[in-house]
Structure 1
Amino acid sequence: MDKRKVNGRRFLAVTLLNATITVVEIIGGVVSGSLALLSDAFHNLGDSLSIVMGYVAQVISGRPENSRRTFGYRRAEILSAFLNALFLIVMSIFLIVEAIQRLQHPAHINGKIMLIVAVVGLIANLLSAVLLHAGSHDSLNIKATYLHVLSDSLSSVAVIIGAIILMYINVPWLDPLLTIAVALYIAFEAWPIIKQTISILMQSAPQLDYDAIQKDILAIDGIEGVHHLHAWSMDEHRIIFSAHINCHDMKISECEHIYRQIEHLLESKYNINHVTIQAECQRGRDETLFDTNDDEIHLCH
């Protein structure tokens, strides 16, 4: 993905839009008495902070590798995505608790004011979603931010429907019920990002066919064994791979030809773009594909 598609000006525009919506919805929520509107306002306030954090993380992740960060700063975006998604989960729990309390103590709501403010919020949120859509498919960080504003759009739609109903029918439980529905949706959308970012941060092995990788490597002329394999993800796109191979006794220049074949195989067939191979003659011939020493737990082939 070309991250220039989601540049600083777009992030700034989305931040200003969300800040404006927040002020409008807080005022509208207080005047109308709508919990759904107030909850959406605080949601937007969190969005403004998350959008700033997402942009900062994107800038940091573009820094080059150095002696302190030999793999670069790509994890900054993963951390940002995790924190954004975690905030969504926490906020959803808070909204559900508040809505349950409101169900027990219903309050009168001005549907007309609620409707006007919700329509303004929907327009601004949809515009924000359009500005961030370009990068939402290729970056967990931008996707998390995009989900923030998209969930706000859904919140606004729910509030609009509720406001129209409340303008004609006095249903005191409708506003908190809408709040619960929106909160559950937000948590549902955020949970997969939580799972994926934790998996990356814990250096879990990416979903690859390791049996097929082993067979493909062994099919290369000159390779007699492969063991001590490790694979992990730097972010949602970059897979790091290392392994030891057994070869007959040969010159280093001959090994380099084998290295190139392995690198081409792993990149073209398995989308692995950072490969480290260690050639050995007799050492490790009896070892399994995954190392089980040093109290490490791996799957064995």
Structure 2
Amino acid sequence: MKEQITGKRFLWVTVLNLIITFVEIIGGLFSGSLALLSDAFHNLGDSLSIMLGFFAQLIGKRPETERQTYGYRRAEILSALLNALFLIIVSAFLLIEAIKRFSRPSTIDGPVMLTVAVIGLLANLISALLLHKGSKGSLNIKATYLHILSDSLSSVGVIIGAIIVTIWHIDWIDPLLTIAVAIFICFEAWPIIKQTVTILMQASPKLDYDSIKQDIVNIEDVNSVHHVHAWMIDEHRIIFSAHINVCDLPISQVEPIYIKIETLLKDKYDIGHVTIQAEVGRGIDETLFNTPADKNEDQ
């Protein structure tokens, strides 16, 4: 079941991120730490993405309308895509600045860096806990949650780096940690981008179509299945349509067949929205995905 995140939780996470941002900007300026300054701007982006995610969730709850017959569920998919893209952009910025810092090393105040990093870690952990459950059932919340999680891991890295800087005065550890965090962020964001683009491009979900065809044909009076289309509105709802060839029956006898197919697809394949068109002889020789339009184009 999809877990919804309340407005109160979003508000607390946003406030915590704004506080972290302010503290890390001040700490980064005073300590000279690129990792802290980069994480500060990352947290600022998190605050914006959290608000975007919350409003997307509200929009996604709106009912279907004449202009939006499938509702607004893809608002959350768009939000997840934007959040993940922002993560990639931030990572690129971090990588560039870290590489520059290697060629222009600067002295870093380890104790200040350490104190600020600990504060940031505690606030990020609280935010991550607030969003954890919702991240399991929504790409939108997952993208926001990954923002927070990446910041938490970044804070851990900064803490380790601050200890090294304080004890051994190895200042180049700061840009090295920045590069490591940037790579981690890209690694976590890429699957979200891939999945959201797949949904927006209406690519077919991973289903056993041969098994679906066989199960439908095994229903009494169904002779064949063709003109199949399947896509996803969001990461939870699959839309399925198909033409079936049946015996020459009155509509009153075809309707129970529709019900059997809908029940089969919902119970066995978790397909929530099914549209079936019954035919007697039309298209009976077509393959599962080969439509009449496809045949005309081939000719």
Common topology (TM > 0.5): yes
* 1:275 counterpart letter in structure 2: V
SS in 2 for 1:21: helix
Q: Deviating runs (4+, > 4 A) in structure 1? A: none
Structure 2 contact 224–284 (Cα < 8 Å) conserved: yes
Residue in structure 2 matched with residue 88 of structure 1 by the alignment: 87
Residue in structure 1 matched with residue 23 of structure 2 by the alignment: 24
Residue in structure 1 matched with residue 78 of structure 2 by the alignment: 79
**Alpha-carbon distance in structure 2 between the residues aligned to 1:168 and 1:272:** 59
* 1:191 counterpart letter in structure 2: W
* 1:227 counterpart letter in structure 2: H
Residue in structure 2 matched with residue 277 of structure 1 by the alignment: 276
Structure 2 contact 27–36 (Cα < 8 Å) conserved: yes
Structure 2 contact 2–137 (Cα < 8 Å) conserved: no
Quote how far apart the aligned CAs of 1:292 are: 4.7
Matches within 5 A, 1:148-187: 148-187=147-186
**Alpha-carbon distance in structure 2 between the residues aligned to 1:253 and 1:130:** 54
**Alpha-carbon distance in structure 2 between the residues aligned to 1:160 and 1:143:** 25
**Alpha-carbon distance in structure 2 between the residues aligned to 1:86 and 1:294:** 36
After superposition, the Cα gap between the structure-2 partners of 1:164 and 1:144, relative to the gap in structure 1 and judged at 3 Å, is same
Q: Deviations over 1:191-228 (max 9, x none)?
A: 00000000000000000000000000000001001100
Quote how far apart the aligned CAs of 1:168 are: 1.1
SS in 1 for 2:293: coil
* 1:162 counterpart letter in structure 2: G
Quote how far apart the aligned CAs of 1:172 are: 2.2
SS in 2 for 1:138: coil
Is residue 104 from structure 1 mapped to residue 103 from structure 2 by the alignment?
A: yes
* 1:163 counterpart letter in structure 2: A
Q: Count residues with an aligned counterpart.
A: 295
**Alpha-carbon distance in structure 2 between the residues aligned to 1:27 and 1:189:** 28
Quote how far apart the aligned CAs of 1:2 are: 4.8
Residue in structure 2 matched with residue 211 of structure 1 by the alignment: 210
Quote how far apart the aligned CAs of 1:248 are: 1.1
**Alpha-carbon distance in structure 2 between the residues aligned to 1:138 and 1:15:** 20
SS in 1 for 2:228: strand
**Alpha-carbon distance in structure 1 between the residues aligned to 2:102 and 2:196:** 35
**Alpha-carbon distance in structure 2 between the residues aligned to 1:11 and 1:212:** 42
**Alpha-carbon distance in structure 2 between the residues aligned to 1:3 and 1:15:** 19
Specify every segment of 5 or more residues in structure 1 that has no aligned partner in the other structure, as ranges. 297-301
**Alpha-carbon distance in structure 2 between the residues aligned to 1:9 and 1:295:** 51
**Alpha-carbon distance in structure 1 between the residues aligned to 2:187 and 2:115:** 28
* 2:259 counterpart letter in structure 1: R
Q: Deviations over 1:145-178 (max 9, x none)?
A: 0000000000000000000110111212110000
**Alpha-carbon distance in structure 2 between the residues aligned to 1:145 and 1:127:** 14
The CA RMSD measured in Å over matched residues stands at: 1.0
* 2:88 counterpart letter in structure 1: I
Residue in structure 2 matched with residue 145 of structure 1 by the alignment: 144
Residue in structure 2 matched with residue 226 of structure 1 by the alignment: 225
Quote how far apart the aligned CAs of 1:295 are: 5.1
Specify every segment of 5 or more residues in structure 2 that has no aligned partner in the other structure, as ranges. none
Aligned-pair identity in percent equals: 66
Residue in structure 2 matched with residue 199 of structure 1 by the alignment: 198
Residue in structure 2 matched with residue 252 of structure 1 by the alignment: 251
Structure 2 contact 245–281 (Cα < 8 Å) conserved: yes
Residue in structure 2 matched with residue 299 of structure 1 by the alignment: none
